[in-house]
């Protein structure tokens, strides 16, 4: 989930100057229109890791926007009036009316996450609280509020660096409190709880936007462009007479923005000899795990996604080579059958779910909904936007049933793909594997890259993480796949 926003995105001074100027002008125009037309209220939620730029963002919004139309609220200590009333009363009374902008700092999420991360609340109570929040937010959106939920994130390493730097300087040491160090100590608990909260409350209608908090300049431009984009789309929807529809909250399409996949070092060394040795060892280990008595009441679902020619088929063959043929099934996902088209899109995957002691391997998967169907426009944006939450719910059901779910993205670059395409064309045995469609898909590489980046961010959950595989070197990729499978299976038995 946080893969993309732990990359430490930065903007240089000059880029920042240009982009921030542009976005500030745009924001002021849109804010003016909001105030004039009073067509809807804007509510911005600011949550996330402390020291990741939450306060700075509040200040930024106050300085970039005309602050007369904006109300910021940090409600850490309820008044006696508030304590006597239902929890949400403190927020209701501060809701921005149409034509105004409200910024809620930490808001209803902070306490729910704190209670769970520190073990004060049980899982069921945590989930029930999040569902109430989800219903409240969906009501706000149905009532026409533009709701923007921003989650600021930095890695534990970056947080530690910041706390140490602030502590060292006597002018800033007051900003570091005992609670900051405690947070750092339990960083993983908080991150896991936050990921669960984000998963449960990121819907097609009110998705979270994750913000990399590492760099002030990047963060400012990112937040500014996100808000401007959401406003822009909301006004466009109103112009089309679809003002009631929830606005599409999208992250700004920064071409230069690195993501978890593009940040990988795709060329990883591995010799054929090392590969063969390790492969054999791993296949033996995998076979033993699948035969293990503890697996007799479990099942395994593995899925492979990746650009064309990323090596999915080859990797799958190395996995199945380790298994008794009666134990596994490989399910290649191509165009759906008539029967499948007559059902909700997840049906074709549900029908393949393995029984106890079995392995099912998907060559492409339900993620087609947010990859090819999104990029090719085969379903409406609202449909693929809701699919992230539906897929997370689906995988949660599998996992609660004791199924181990392992998801691989095999990453190659454009050059490697070209090399493999040419190789296939010139090999009579492989010529059938390359079609005009593969060339067409290749032209849409940037769109796919954006879709993959969003997919990782929204579906690499604390219960079903994606494994990104550097796959320019097939040997390396296959070994990483098998090792991950062994590790994940072993850890869950």
The residue ranges that bind its own copies (CB under 8 A) are 38, 41, 81, 84-89, 92-93, 95, 97-99, 122, 124-125, 127-128, 131-132, 135-136, 139-140, 142-145, 299, 339, 342-347, 350-351, 353-356, 383, 386, 389-390, 393, 397-398, 400-401, 403
In the complex, what is the shortest distance from the CB of residue 290 to its own copies, in angstroms, rounded to a whole number? 16
**Tokens 């191509």 map to which residue?**
334
Our CA dihedral for 85, 87, 93, 96, rounded to 10 degrees, sits at -170
DSSP H stretches of helix in 70-186:
80-83, 89-92, 107-117, 123-142, 156-168, 178-185
Between 218 and 345, CB nearer to its own copies: 345
Dist. CA 236–CA 247, nearest whole Å:
10
Shortest distance in whole angstroms from residue 355 CB to its own copies: 4
Residue 71 is inside which H or E element, if any? strand 70-74
Give the shortest CB-261-to-its own copies separation in angstroms: 28
Nearer to its own copies, 274 or 380 (CB): 380
Residue 121 in contact with residue 90, Cβ under 8 Å?
no
Helices (H), 169-215: 178-185, 187-201
Does residue 478 contact residue 318 with C-beta atoms inside 8 Å? yes
With vertex at residue 69, the alpha carbon angle to CA 68 and CA 74, rounded to the nearest 5 degrees, is: 90
Measured between alpha carbons, how far is residue 338 from residues 350, 365, 366, 412, 458 in Å? 16, 17, 17, 33, 30
**DSSP E strands: which ranges in 249-335?**
299-306, 328-332
Q: Using DSSP, state whether 390 is helix, strand or coil.
A: helix
Q: CB of 124: closest distance to its own copies in angstroms? A: 4
Measured from the CB atom, the residue of 130 and 450 that comes closer to its own copies is 130
Pair type for strands 70-74 and 146-153: unpaired
Please identify, using beta-carbon distances, which residue of 317 and 351 lies nearer to its own copies.
351
Calpha distance 103→107 (Å, rounded): 9
Question: Which residue number, 43 or 477, has a Cβ lying nearer to its own copies?
Answer: 43
Separation in Å, CA 111 to CA 47, 126, 127, 193, 457: 11, 10, 13, 12, 24
Taking the complex as a whole, how short is the minimal distance between the CB of residue 171 and its own copies, in angstroms? 43
Q: How far is the CB of 303 from its own copies (least distance, A)?
A: 16
Distance separating alpha carbons of residues 190 and 273, to the nearest angstrom? 43
Single out the residue of 402, 319, 417 nearest to residue 362, CA to CA: 319
Which of 110, 130, 137 lies closest to 47, judged by CA?
A: 110
Residues 6+ apart with CB under 8 A from 173: 166, 167
Nearer to its own copies among residue 101 and residue 310 (C-beta): 101
Shortest Å distance, C-beta 223 to its own copies: 25
Nearer to its own copies, 98 or 364 (CB): 98
- As measured in angstroms, the least distance from the Cβ of 424 to its own copies is 37
**Closest approach of its own copies to the CB of residue 191, in Å:** 22
Nearer to its own copies, 41 or 412 (CB): 41
Considering beta carbons, is residue 136 or 445 the nearer one to its own copies? 136
Instruction: Pick between residue 256 and residue 400 the one whose CB is nearest to its own copies.
Output: 400
The least distance separating its own copies from the CB of residue 170, rounded to whole angstroms, comes to: 44
């Amino acid at each position: 989930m946080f893969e993309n926003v732990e990359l430490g995105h930065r903007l240089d001074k000059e880029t920042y100057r240009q982009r921030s100027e542009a976005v500030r002008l745009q924001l002021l125009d849109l804010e003016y229109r909001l105030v004039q037309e009073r067509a809807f209220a804007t509510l911005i939620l600011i949550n996330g890791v402390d020291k990741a730029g939450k306060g700075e963002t509040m200040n930024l919004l106050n300085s970039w926007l005309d602050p007369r139309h904006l109300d910021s609220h940090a409600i850490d200590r309820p008044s006696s009036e508030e304590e006597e009333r239902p929890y949400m009363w403190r927020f209701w009374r501060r809701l921005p009316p149409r034509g105004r902008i409200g910024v809620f700092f930490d808001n209803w999420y902070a306490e729910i996450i704190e209670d769970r991360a520190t073990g004060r609340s049980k899982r069921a109570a945590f989930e029930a609280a999040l569902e109430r929040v989800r219903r409240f937010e969906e009501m706000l959106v149905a009532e026409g509020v533009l709701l923007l939920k921003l989650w600021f994130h930095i890695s534990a390493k970056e947080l530690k660096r910041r706390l140490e730097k602030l502590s060292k300087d006597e002018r800033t040491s007051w900003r570091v409190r005992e609670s900051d160090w405690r947070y750092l100590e339990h960083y993983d608990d908080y991150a896991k709880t936050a990921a669960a909260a984000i998963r449960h409350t990121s819907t097609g209608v009110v998705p979270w936007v994750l913000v990399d908090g590492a760099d002030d300049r990047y963060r400012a431009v990112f937040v500014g462009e996100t808000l401007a984009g959401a406003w822009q789309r909301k006004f466009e929807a109103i112009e089309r007479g679809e003002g009631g529809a929830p606005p599409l909250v999208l992250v700004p399409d920064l071409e230069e923005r690195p993501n978890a996949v593009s940040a990988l070092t795709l060329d990883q060394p591995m010799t054929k000899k090392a590969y063969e040795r390790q492969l054999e060892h791993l296949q033996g280990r995998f076979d033993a795990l699948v035969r293990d008595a503890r697996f007799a009441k479990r099942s395994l679902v593995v899925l492979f996604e990746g650009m064309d020619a990323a090596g999915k088929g080859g990797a799958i063959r190395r996995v199945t080579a380790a298994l008794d043929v009666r134990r596994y099934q490989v399910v290649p996902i191509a165009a759906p059958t008539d029967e499948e088209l007559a059902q909700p899109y997840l049906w074709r995957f549900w029908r393949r779910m393995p029984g106890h002691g079995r392995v099912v391997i998907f060559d492409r998967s339900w993620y087609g909904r947010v990859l090819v169907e999104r990029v090719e426009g085969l379903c409406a944006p609202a449909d693929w936007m809701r699919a992230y939450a539906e897929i997370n719910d689906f995988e949660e059901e599998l996992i609660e049933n004791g199924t181990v779910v392992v998801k691989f993205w095999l990453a190659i670059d454009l050059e490697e793909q070209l090399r493999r395409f040419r190789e296939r064309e010139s090999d009579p045995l492989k010529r059938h594997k390359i079609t005009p469609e593969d060339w067409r898909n290749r032209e849409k590489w940037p769109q796919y890259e954006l879709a993959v980046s969003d997919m990782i961010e929204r579906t690499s959950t604390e219960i079903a993480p994606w494994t990104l595989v550097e796959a320019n070197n097939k040997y390396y990729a296959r070994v990483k796949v098998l090792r991950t499978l062994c590790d994940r299976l072993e850890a869950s038995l």
